[in-house]
């Protein structure tokens, strides 16, 4: 039975029993305490906590999930995976144990012909929480499971939570006995490899607090209502129903693994090391594909870091399998899109964008592997020079953070060099970085408030009505006030406050559009609004400071936005839509929007692209957009179904998730996009769009920045004045300026090279004189010399080597030259072979000089370079070197 059919049967069974089928939520978690969705119940968490009223009493879903705490175990075992799908049925204060338990048993044991999964009853075992007598009795008396196949387990095994504060409760699990060939008898408590968990019924009764591990947390109290959260791993079910040994051999994973084996000319099952790499590739390619499809882009923080690590582990393991410089991710991603596309049709529609992101990351990382290896070699050399055996955590973190070098590759290569890595230091630095990113993201949306506070306001006051499409001011009522994240009844002058209104004209930051600013006025009170956010769906929070009086919950207020700011932002937003369309026309449909920011008079637009966009394309897009502005096309917004929107060809933001009813914004027949932002009435109101340039902001993602309206006019006016000044200064017509300036720059560069050659020649001209004037110290020719200020470090080195080369091979000689190339002194020492035979070493001598100069340095025995911070000490440094030479020879 294929995975897609397993999912269809599950959903159909529960739909027939009054459950609303809910589509999978995005892997990007709405909960600010999570980076990615790790469990099937996460989208329903506010309902379990009573923060929101569920629109249905019963629900069923197939939820995409990603977990990465055990990522290092992926491939090493056949149990661990980063991406999985949870089939779940949920009750929100409706049914409880007495219905959930029979539902699970019926679906599992009903014959395949009747729509079930056909599990033999005598091969199913059950576990319950150690003191849950009610569940044990239901299994035994109501369902008929023999008492000897019902086992009790403790909190670590049969009590469930997400690992963070939230809903929790005891659970009962169903296990399938795969037979004696998989392990010993005795049920799940004896061997969980033979007895495979297939279903978990969680009875949500309590709310847990913060704490570590599976048992070390407090129970804060009862939930508002007893609910049910069940989970059945789709991949694990597929392994059983498809008659394979593990999740890597099911239909949606093995096809990727098999193609990877074919491409790298390996065979699964012959070599354990190759098998591990193939399993890593199969799991990670599927995970990466699903993350990119949900709008995650590779980066160095948060979920972007998770994706980057997953993709780069795939690429590295392909190299371990022998891929060399070949790029195989495109073909493997195509297989992932194909096998997962039956359950998630949007994958096939978004395939060009998914390929664009993953292909670019592969190209980038293959380059990183080349350059990063050189950086790694330098770090190893430094470590060994210090006679150390451990590569520092700082060095490993820099390799990862600056050069994108994965820690597992650093560990492996260090081991080959006989070194260890300070993993604890590396992990600490990584954790600090992630915590900062996570805290910043949470603070932006919630203002560091407990999200449950917002949920309580939403539950009490209902969804906030947004009036901003048609109104710039409105009468409203204060339905919530927060100070420092806590609800308060009133706030006085000077207080930083968060205000929730029943209805508002203020636009909350979202969809790339910056938030509105303005004022909220009550009787005798005024709040200056500087930011507006939507921390939970349906709620709008106005952040600002009380400038006078006292504002109270229940006050009738007048809310007014900054109209000029709104108009400027709206112009930017409409321009972004048009530039998006322009780039798609120029580069193809793979130029999918990957982010934007619409601010007053200025916008930036991020999109997927394999490489830099030529200047000619930028000019063409700019010309096309401005030609549309002249036509003054009407800008219309309307609501329709998501299916109708797609049929109309409306662009949806890549990775963005939409409800069944969507809002479309169209600029005449030129541009049509799904969008919730504010826009101008006609394209002519934009005035002018001026593209400033484009750049890379990450693998496979380019950023265009542009000005619109008066800001664009002002920019061009300044440019015109500048060109006029240059034309006057150079006595050339405007159209001649590029050629004239190019000629000047060419002549300047030639003159600089000639000057550098002359300076170098002057420095080296004294080489013969210095060699002739060498002093004899215990039979060794010694030259110490201060070069003129401004002599480059390279010329100092050349001079030292030139002087050294003028002595006969059998004459011991040492040369030390110092100077000040810029604002810091440099010393170079050179010792010939005969001099090294007398015990003189360039590295040691330059170290003496550098110490006197207040710095450090070193190098090989024949030539070395160092520096410091005290130019005035060059004489002392050369004197110290002479003394060191004399002592060594004496």
Q: What are phi and psi of 10, to 5 degrees?
A: -60, -50
pLDDT exceeds 70 at position 748: yes
pLDDT exceeds 70 at position 655: no
pLDDT exceeds 80 at position 700: no
Of the candidates 221, 178, 416, 408, the residue with the CA atom closest to the CA atom of residue 315: 408
Q: Quick one: residue 324, left, alpha or beta (phi over 0 = left, psi -120 to 50 = alpha)?
A: left
Domain boundary (712, 746, 781) is at: 712
Written in H, E and C, the secondary structure of 246-283 is CHHHCHHHHHHHHHHHHHCCCCCCCCHHHHHHHHHHHH
Domain membership flag for residue 457: yes
At 450 the pLDDT is: 52
pLDDT band for 289, please (50, 70, 90 cuts): very high
Domain membership flag for residue 743: no
Handedness of CA 544, 546, 551, 556 (dihedral sign): negative
pTM of structure: 0.62
Tokens of 325: 């410089």
Half-sphere exposure of 527 (CA within 13 A, CB side): 32
- Of 660 and 777, the structure prediction assigns the larger pLDDT to 777
- Of 350 and 406, the structure prediction assigns the larger pLDDT to 350
**Greatest mean pLDDT among 358-362, 457-461, 559-563:** 559-563
How does pLDDT run across 325-365, given as a tens digit for each residue?
788 999 999 999 999 998 998 898 888 888 888 888 888 78
How does pLDDT run across 600-651, given as a tens digit for each residue?
999 999 888 877 889 999 999 999 999 999 999 999 999 998 778 878 877 7
pLDDT exceeds 90 at position 250: yes
Residue that the structure tokens 């306001």 belong to = 457
Q: Which of 200-204, 460-464, 831-835 has the lowest mean pLDDT?
A: 460-464
- Report percent pLDDT > 90 for the chain: 51
Q: Residue 585 belongs to a domain with what CATH number?
A: 3.30.980.10
pLDDT exceeds 50 at position 833: yes
**Are both 100 and 7 inside the same structural domain?**
yes
At 21 the pLDDT is: 93
How does pLDDT run across 13-41, given as a tens digit for each residue?
999 999 999 989 889 887 767 889 888 88
**Are both 360 and 409 inside the same structural domain?**
no
**Are both 516 and 440 inside the same structural domain?**
no
Residue that the structure tokens 């190893």 belong to = 380
pLDDT exceeds 70 at position 443: no
pLDDT exceeds 80 at position 408: no
pLDDT band for 448, please (50, 70, 90 cuts): very low
At 444 the pLDDT is: 45
**Are both 545 and 587 inside the same structural domain?**
no
Name residue 59's beta-bridge partners. Answer: 20, 90
At 682 the pLDDT is: 94
Of the candidates 168, 266, 286, the residue with the CA atom closest to the CA atom of residue 221: 168
- Of 745 and 166, the structure prediction assigns the larger pLDDT to 745
Task: State yes or no: 679 annotated in a binding site.
Answer: yes
At 451 the pLDDT is: 61
Domain membership flag for residue 745: no
Mean pLDDT confidence for 259-282? 92
Q: Which of 112-121, 319-328, 450-459, 730-739 has the lowest mean pLDDT?
A: 450-459
Pairing assessment for the beta strands 390-391 and 420-421 based on DSSP bridges: parallel
Q: Determine how many CB atoms are found less than 10 A away from the CB of residue 292.
A: 28
Task: State yes or no: 284 annotated in a binding site.
Answer: no
At 404 the pLDDT is: 66
pLDDT band for 653, please (50, 70, 90 cuts): low
**Are both 212 and 68 inside the same structural domain?**
yes
Task: Return d(Cα 428, Cα 433) in angstroms, integer.
Answer: 9
Residue that the structure tokens 């990113």 belong to = 437
At 447 the pLDDT is: 45
**Greatest mean pLDDT among 185-199, 218-232, 453-467:** 185-199
- Of 427 and 199, the structure prediction assigns the larger pLDDT to 199
Q: With beta carbons less than 8 A apart as the criterion, state whether 608 and 357 touch.
A: yes
Mapped onto helix, strand or coil, the DSSP state of residue 227 is strand
pLDDT band for 571, please (50, 70, 90 cuts): very high
Q: With beta carbons less than 8 A apart as the criterion, state whether 199 and 171 touch.
A: no
Task: Return d(Cα 247, Cα 256) in angstroms, integer.
Answer: 12
**Are both 537 and 584 inside the same structural domain?**
no
371-401 in b/e burial notation, b at 16+ Cβ within 10 A? ebeebbeebbeebeeeeeeebbbebbbbbbb
pLDDT band for 316, please (50, 70, 90 cuts): confident
Domain boundary (242, 267, 291) is at: 242
pLDDT exceeds 80 at position 433: no
Mean per-residue pLDDT of the chain: 88
Domain boundary (373, 406, 421) is at: 373
How does pLDDT run across 63-103, given as a tens digit for each residue?
999 998 888 888 888 888 999 999 999 999 899 999 999 99
pLDDT band for 551, please (50, 70, 90 cuts): very high
Mapped onto helix, strand or coil, the DSSP state of residue 553 is coil
How does pLDDT run across 513-531, given as a tens digit for each residue?
999 999 999 998 999 999 9
Task: State yes or no: 19 annotated in a binding site.
Answer: no
Q: With beta carbons less than 8 A apart as the criterion, state whether 20 and 98 touch.
A: no
Q: Domain range holding 537? A: 451-561
Q: Residue 842 belongs to a domain with what CATH number?
A: 3.10.310.40
Q: Determine how many CB atoms are found less than 10 A away from the CB of residue 168.
A: 25
Rounded to the nearest angstrom, the gap between the alpha carbon of residue 394 and the centroid of all alpha carbons in its chain is 21
**Are both 87 and 223 inside the same structural domain?**
yes
Of the candidates 47, 68, 65, the residue with the CA atom closest to the CA atom of residue 56: 47
How does pLDDT run across 702-734, given as a tens digit for each residue?
899 999 999 999 999 998 899 899 888 888 888
As for how many domains the chain has, the answer is 6
Task: State yes or no: 778 annotated in a binding site.
Answer: no
pLDDT exceeds 90 at position 424: no
pLDDT band for 659, please (50, 70, 90 cuts): low
Domain membership flag for residue 792: yes
Domain membership flag for residue 755: no
**Are both 189 and 54 inside the same structural domain?**
yes
What is the residue-wise DSSP string for 576-588?
A: HHHHHHHHHHHH-
**Are both 397 and 465 inside the same structural domain?**
no
Q: Quick one: residue 186, left, alpha or beta (phi over 0 = left, psi -120 to 50 = alpha)?
A: left
**Are both 556 and 511 inside the same structural domain?**
yes
**Are both 111 and 200 inside the same structural domain?**
yes
Half-sphere exposure of 403 (CA within 13 A, CB side): 22
Domain membership flag for residue 750: no
Q: Determine how many CB atoms are found less than 10 A away from the CB of residue 575.
A: 30
Domain membership flag for residue 464: yes
Domain membership flag for residue 871: yes
**Are both 99 and 193 inside the same structural domain?**
yes
């Amino acid at each position: 039975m294929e995975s897609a059919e397993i999912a269809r049967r599950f959903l159909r069974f529960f739909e027939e029993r009054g459950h609303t089928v809910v589509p999978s939520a995005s892997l990007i978690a709405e909960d600010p305490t999570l980076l990615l969705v790790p469990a099937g119940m996460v989208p329903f968490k506010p309902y379990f906590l009573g923060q929101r009223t569920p629109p249905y009493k019963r629900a069923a879903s197939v939820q995409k999930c990603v977990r990465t705490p055990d990522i290092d175990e992926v491939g090493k075992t056949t149990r661990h995976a980063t991406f999985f799908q949870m089939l779940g049925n949920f009750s929100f204060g409706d049914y409880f144990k007495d219905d959930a338990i029979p539902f699970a048993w019926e679906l599992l044991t009903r014959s395949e012909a009747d729509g079930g999964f056909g599990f033999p009853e005598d091969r199913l075992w059950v576990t319950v929480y150690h003191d849950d007598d009610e569940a044990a009795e239901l299994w035994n008396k109501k369902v008929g499971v023999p008492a000897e196949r019902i086992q009790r387990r403790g909190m670590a095994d049969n009590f469930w939570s997400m690992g963070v504060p939230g809903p929790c409760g005891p659970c009962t699990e169903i296990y399938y006995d795969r037979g004696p060939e998989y392990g010993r008898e005795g049920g799940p408590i004896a061997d969980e490899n033979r007895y495979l968990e297939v279903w978990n019924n969680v009875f949500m009764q309590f709310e847990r607090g913060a704490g570590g591990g599976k048992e070390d947390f407090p129970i804060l109290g009862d939930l508002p209502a007893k609910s049910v959260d069940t989970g059945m791993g789709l991949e694990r079910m597929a392994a059983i129903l498809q008659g394979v040994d593990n999740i890597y051999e099911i239909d949606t994973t093995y096809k990727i693994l098999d193609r990877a084996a074919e491409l790298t000319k390996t065979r699964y099952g012959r070599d354990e090391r190759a098998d591990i790499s193939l399993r890593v590739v199969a799991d990670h390619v599927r995970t990466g594909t699903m993350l990119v499809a949900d709008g995650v882009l590779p980066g160095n923080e948060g979920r972007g870091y998770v994706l980057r690590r997953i993709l780069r582990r795939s690429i590295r393991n392909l190299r371990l399998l022998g891929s060399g410089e070949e790029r195989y991710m495109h073909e493997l991603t195509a297989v992932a899109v194909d096998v997962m596309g039956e359950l998630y049709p949007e994958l096939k529609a978004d395939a060009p964008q998914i390929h664009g992101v993953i292909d670019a990351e592969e190209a980038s990382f293959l380059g990183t592997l080349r350059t990063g290896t050189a950086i790694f070699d330098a770090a190893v050399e430094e470590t060994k020079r210090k006679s150390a055996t451990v590569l520092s955590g700082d060095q490993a973190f820099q390799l990862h953070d600056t050069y994108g070098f994965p820690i597992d590759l650093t560990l492996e290569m260090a081991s080959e060099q006989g070194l260890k890595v300070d993993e604890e230091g590396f992990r600490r630095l990584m954790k600090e970085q992630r915590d900062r990113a996570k805290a910043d993201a949470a603070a932006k949306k919630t203002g560091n408030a407990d999200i449950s506070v917002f949920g309580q306001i939403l539950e009490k006051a209902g969804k906030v009505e947004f009036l901003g499409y048609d109104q710039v001011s409105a009468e409203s009522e204060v339905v919530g006030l927060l100070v420092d994240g806590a609800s308060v009844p009133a706030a006085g002058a000077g207080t930083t406050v968060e205000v929730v209104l029943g209805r508002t004209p203020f636009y909350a930051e979202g969809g790339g559009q910056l938030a509105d600013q303005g004022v909220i006025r009550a009787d005798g009170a005024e709040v200056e609004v500087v930011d507006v956010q939507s921390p939970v769906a349906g709620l709008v929070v106005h952040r600002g400071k009380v400038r006078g009086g006292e504002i109270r919950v229940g006050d009738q207020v007048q809310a007014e936005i900054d109209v000029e700011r709104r108009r400027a932002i709206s112009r930017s937003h409409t321009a972004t839509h048009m530039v998006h369309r322009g780039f798609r026309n120029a580069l193809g449909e793979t130029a999918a929007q990957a982010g934007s920011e619409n601010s007053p008079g200025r916008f930036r637009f991020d999109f997927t692209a394999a490489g830099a966009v030529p200047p000619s394309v930028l000019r063409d897009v700019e010309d096309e957009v401005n030609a549309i502005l002249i036509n003054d096309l009407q800008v219309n917004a309307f609501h329709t179904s998501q299916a109708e929107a797609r049929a109309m060809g409306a662009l949806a933001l890549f990775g963005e998730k939409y409800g069944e009813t969507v809002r479309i914004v169209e600029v005449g027949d030129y541009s049509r996009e799904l969008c919730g932002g504010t826009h101008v009435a006609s394209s002519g109101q934009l005035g002018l769009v001026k593209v400033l340039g484009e750049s890379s902001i990450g693998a496979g993602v380019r950023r265009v920045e542009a000005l619109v309206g008066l800001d664009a006019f002002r920019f061009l006016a300044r440019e015109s004045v500048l060109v006029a000044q240059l034309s006057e200064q150079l006595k050339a017509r405007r159209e001649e300026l590029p050629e004239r300036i190019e000629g000047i720059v060419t002549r300047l560069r030639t003159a600089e090279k000639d000057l550098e050659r002359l300076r170098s020649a002057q420095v080296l001209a004294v080489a013969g004189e210095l060699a002739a004037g060498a002093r004899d110290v215990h039979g060794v020719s010694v030259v110490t010399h201060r070069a003129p200020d401004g002599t480059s470090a390279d010329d100092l080195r050349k001079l030292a080597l030139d002087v050294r080369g003028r002595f006969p091979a059998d004459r011991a000689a040492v040369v030390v030259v110092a100077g000040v190339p810029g604002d810091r002194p440099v010393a170079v020492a050179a010792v010939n072979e005969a001099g090294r035979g007398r015990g003189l070493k360039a590295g040691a001598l330059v170290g003496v000089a550098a110490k006197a100069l207040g710095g450090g340095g070193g190098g090989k025995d024949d030539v070395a370079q160092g520096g410091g911070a005290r130019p005035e000490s060059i004489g002392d440094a050369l004197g110290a070197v002479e003394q060191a030479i004399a002592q060594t020879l004496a």
